[in-house]
Amino acid sequence: MDTLLNDFSPGLFIMQTIILIILIVLLGKFAWKPILGSLATREDGIKDAIEAAEKAKLELQNLQADNAKLLNEARVERDAMLKEAREMKDKMILDAKDEAQVQANNMIEAAKHAIESEKKTAMVEIKNHVAELSLEIAEKVVRGELSNKDKQLQLVDTLLGESTLN
Protein backbone atom coordinates (compact mmCIF):
# COMPACT_ATOMS: atom_id res chain seq x y z
CA MET A 1 0.00 0.00 0.00
CA ASP A 2 2.84 2.34 0.85
CA THR A 3 4.55 1.67 -2.47
CA LEU A 4 1.22 2.05 -4.23
CA LEU A 5 0.66 5.48 -2.75
CA ASN A 6 4.28 6.38 -3.43
CA ASP A 7 3.85 5.33 -7.03
CA PHE A 8 0.77 7.46 -7.46
CA SER A 9 1.85 10.39 -9.55
CA PRO A 10 -0.42 13.46 -9.27
CA GLY A 11 1.16 14.87 -12.40
CA LEU A 12 0.30 11.79 -14.41
CA PHE A 13 -3.20 11.92 -12.95
CA ILE A 14 -3.63 15.48 -14.13
CA MET A 15 -2.22 14.74 -17.59
CA GLN A 16 -4.47 11.71 -17.90
CA THR A 17 -7.51 13.76 -16.88
CA ILE A 18 -6.72 16.42 -19.46
CA ILE A 19 -6.05 13.88 -22.21
CA LEU A 20 -9.16 11.88 -21.39
CA ILE A 21 -11.40 14.95 -21.40
CA ILE A 22 -9.92 16.10 -24.72
CA LEU A 23 -10.34 12.62 -26.17
CA ILE A 24 -13.94 12.25 -25.01
CA VAL A 25 -14.91 15.69 -26.30
CA LEU A 26 -13.08 15.53 -29.64
CA LEU A 27 -13.84 11.88 -30.40
CA GLY A 28 -17.41 12.46 -29.28
CA LYS A 29 -17.77 15.31 -31.74
CA PHE A 30 -15.80 13.96 -34.70
CA ALA A 31 -16.08 10.21 -34.36
CA TRP A 32 -18.71 8.77 -32.01
CA LYS A 33 -21.54 11.11 -32.94
CA PRO A 34 -21.31 10.60 -36.72
CA ILE A 35 -20.55 6.88 -36.32
CA LEU A 36 -23.48 6.20 -33.99
CA GLY A 37 -25.71 8.43 -36.07
CA SER A 38 -24.86 6.59 -39.26
CA LEU A 39 -25.30 3.23 -37.54
CA ALA A 40 -28.71 4.26 -36.24
CA THR A 41 -29.76 5.53 -39.68
CA ARG A 42 -28.57 2.36 -41.31
CA GLU A 43 -30.34 0.17 -38.76
CA ASP A 44 -33.57 2.12 -39.18
CA GLY A 45 -33.23 1.68 -42.93
CA ILE A 46 -32.73 -2.05 -42.57
CA LYS A 47 -35.65 -2.28 -40.18
CA ASP A 48 -37.92 -0.39 -42.56
CA ALA A 49 -36.81 -2.53 -45.47
CA ILE A 50 -37.51 -5.71 -43.53
CA GLU A 51 -40.90 -4.44 -42.46
CA ALA A 52 -41.74 -3.45 -46.02
CA ALA A 53 -40.67 -6.85 -47.28
CA GLU A 54 -42.78 -8.53 -44.61
CA LYS A 55 -45.74 -6.43 -45.60
CA ALA A 56 -45.25 -7.22 -49.27
CA LYS A 57 -45.02 -10.90 -48.43
CA LEU A 58 -48.26 -10.72 -46.46
CA GLU A 59 -49.97 -8.91 -49.30
CA LEU A 60 -48.74 -11.48 -51.74
CA GLN A 61 -50.03 -14.21 -49.47
CA ASN A 62 -53.43 -12.52 -49.31
CA LEU A 63 -53.42 -12.18 -53.06
CA GLN A 64 -52.54 -15.81 -53.46
CA ALA A 65 -55.27 -16.81 -51.05
CA ASP A 66 -57.74 -14.71 -53.03
CA ASN A 67 -56.57 -16.31 -56.22
CA ALA A 68 -56.98 -19.76 -54.79
CA LYS A 69 -60.44 -18.85 -53.59
CA LEU A 70 -61.41 -17.52 -56.99
CA LEU A 71 -60.01 -20.57 -58.66
CA ASN A 72 -61.92 -22.81 -56.32
CA GLU A 73 -65.14 -20.94 -56.96
CA ALA A 74 -64.57 -21.17 -60.67
CA ARG A 75 -63.94 -24.86 -60.40
CA VAL A 76 -67.13 -25.41 -58.39
CA GLU A 77 -69.07 -23.36 -60.87
CA ARG A 78 -67.60 -25.28 -63.77
CA ASP A 79 -68.46 -28.56 -62.10
CA ALA A 80 -72.00 -27.39 -61.47
CA MET A 81 -72.35 -26.26 -65.05
CA LEU A 82 -71.03 -29.54 -66.36
CA LYS A 83 -73.35 -31.45 -64.13
CA GLU A 84 -76.29 -29.39 -65.23
CA ALA A 85 -75.36 -29.86 -68.86
CA ARG A 86 -75.05 -33.55 -68.39
CA GLU A 87 -78.42 -33.73 -66.70
CA MET A 88 -79.96 -31.65 -69.41
CA LYS A 89 -78.50 -33.88 -72.06
CA ASP A 90 -79.81 -36.98 -70.34
CA LYS A 91 -83.19 -35.41 -69.97
CA MET A 92 -83.28 -34.30 -73.56
CA ILE A 93 -82.35 -37.72 -74.76
CA LEU A 94 -84.96 -39.24 -72.53
CA ASP A 95 -87.61 -36.79 -73.68
CA ALA A 96 -86.76 -37.39 -77.29
CA LYS A 97 -86.93 -41.10 -76.76
CA ASP A 98 -90.35 -40.84 -75.10
CA GLU A 99 -91.66 -38.58 -77.75
CA ALA A 100 -90.38 -40.83 -80.51
CA GLN A 101 -91.95 -43.79 -78.83
CA VAL A 102 -95.27 -42.03 -78.54
CA GLN A 103 -95.10 -40.90 -82.11
CA ALA A 104 -94.11 -44.31 -83.34
CA ASN A 105 -96.95 -45.84 -81.38
CA ASN A 106 -99.33 -43.31 -82.84
CA MET A 107 -98.06 -44.01 -86.32
CA ILE A 108 -98.36 -47.75 -85.82
CA GLU A 109 -101.84 -47.27 -84.47
CA ALA A 110 -102.80 -45.10 -87.44
CA ALA A 111 -101.31 -47.60 -89.83
CA LYS A 112 -103.22 -50.34 -88.13
CA HIS A 113 -106.45 -48.35 -88.45
CA ALA A 114 -105.74 -47.56 -92.10
CA ILE A 115 -105.03 -51.20 -92.82
CA GLU A 116 -108.16 -52.23 -91.02
CA SER A 117 -110.35 -49.77 -92.90
CA GLU A 118 -108.71 -50.61 -96.22
CA LYS A 119 -109.30 -54.24 -95.48
CA LYS A 120 -112.91 -53.48 -94.70
CA THR A 121 -113.49 -51.52 -97.93
CA ALA A 122 -111.66 -54.23 -99.89
CA MET A 123 -113.92 -56.86 -98.35
CA VAL A 124 -117.01 -54.79 -99.16
CA GLU A 125 -115.81 -54.33 -102.69
CA ILE A 126 -115.08 -57.99 -103.08
CA LYS A 127 -118.48 -58.81 -101.68
CA ASN A 128 -120.15 -56.39 -104.08
CA HIS A 129 -118.12 -57.74 -106.97
CA VAL A 130 -118.98 -61.31 -106.08
CA ALA A 131 -122.64 -60.36 -105.87
CA GLU A 132 -122.50 -58.61 -109.23
CA LEU A 133 -120.70 -61.54 -110.80
CA SER A 134 -123.19 -63.95 -109.36
CA LEU A 135 -126.02 -61.85 -110.71
CA GLU A 136 -124.37 -61.59 -114.15
CA ILE A 137 -123.77 -65.29 -114.25
CA ALA A 138 -127.28 -65.96 -113.14
CA GLU A 139 -128.60 -63.61 -115.82
CA LYS A 140 -126.50 -65.22 -118.57
CA VAL A 141 -127.40 -68.69 -117.39
CA VAL A 142 -131.00 -67.83 -117.36
CA ARG A 143 -130.67 -66.25 -120.84
CA GLY A 144 -128.85 -69.28 -122.32
CA GLU A 145 -131.22 -71.69 -120.77
CA LEU A 146 -133.92 -69.92 -122.32
CA SER A 147 -132.48 -70.06 -125.99
CA ASN A 148 -130.65 -73.34 -126.37
CA LYS A 149 -130.25 -76.06 -124.09
CA ASP A 150 -126.94 -77.10 -125.47
CA LYS A 151 -125.87 -73.60 -125.87
CA GLN A 152 -127.02 -72.82 -122.43
CA LEU A 153 -125.01 -75.63 -121.04
CA GLN A 154 -122.04 -74.58 -123.09
CA LEU A 155 -122.50 -71.06 -121.83
CA VAL A 156 -122.64 -72.18 -118.25
CA ASP A 157 -119.45 -74.11 -118.83
CA THR A 158 -117.80 -71.12 -120.43
CA LEU A 159 -118.97 -68.73 -117.74
CA LEU A 160 -117.86 -71.06 -115.07
CA GLY A 161 -114.47 -71.32 -116.74
CA GLU A 162 -114.34 -67.61 -116.91
CA SER A 163 -115.35 -67.19 -113.28
CA THR A 164 -112.65 -69.49 -112.15
CA LEU A 165 -110.21 -67.34 -114.07
CA ASN A 166 -111.57 -64.44 -112.28
Partner 1 sequence: MVAKKSIKFIAILVLLMTTVSTFANEGGEDNQHHEKGNKVDTPEEIKEYIAHHLKDSHDFHLFSNNETGTHVSFPLPVIVWSSDGLRMFMSSEFHHDDNGHVIVEKDGVKLTKIHSKIYELEAGAEAVAFDEHHHAENAHKVLDLSITKSVFGMLIAGILMFLGFGALAKGYKKGPIPTGVGRVLEPLVLYVRDEIARPNIGEKKYMKFMPFLLTVFFFIWILNLLGLTPLGFNVTGQIAVTACLAIFTMIIYLTNGSKDFWMHTLWMPGVPYILRPILAVIELIGFVIIKPFSLLVRLFANMTAGHFVVMSLIALVILMKEAFGPVASTGVSLILALFITVIEILVAFLQAFIFTMLSSLFIGMAVEEHDHH
DSSP state letter for 69: H
- Interacting positions 45-84 with partner 1 (CB under 8 A): 45
Q: Of these, 4, 150, 164, 165, which contacts partner 1 (CB under 8 A)?
A: 4
Nearest CB to partner 1, comparing residues 17 and 106: 17
Nearest CB to partner 1, comparing residues 17 and 128: 17
CB contact at 8 A, 140 and 159: yes
3-state secondary structure of 8: coil
Q: Supply angle C-alpha 32, 34, 36, rounded to 5.
A: 60
Q: Count residues near partner 1 (CB under 8 A).
A: 32
Residue 92 touches partner 1, criterion: CB under 8 A: no
DSSP run (H or E) holding 9: none
Give min distance, CB of 27 to partner 1, in A.
Answer: 5
- Interacting positions 18-47 with partner 1 (CB under 8 A): 19-20, 22-24, 26-28, 30-36, 38-39, 41-42, 45
> What's the rounded Cα separation, in Å, for the pair 116 and 100?
24
Q: Which stretch binds partner 1 (CB under 8 A): 13-21, 52-60, 67-75, 78-86?
A: 13-21
- Which residues contribute to the site for partner 1 (CB under 8 A)? 4, 7-17, 19-20, 22-24, 26-28, 30-36, 38-39, 41-42, 45
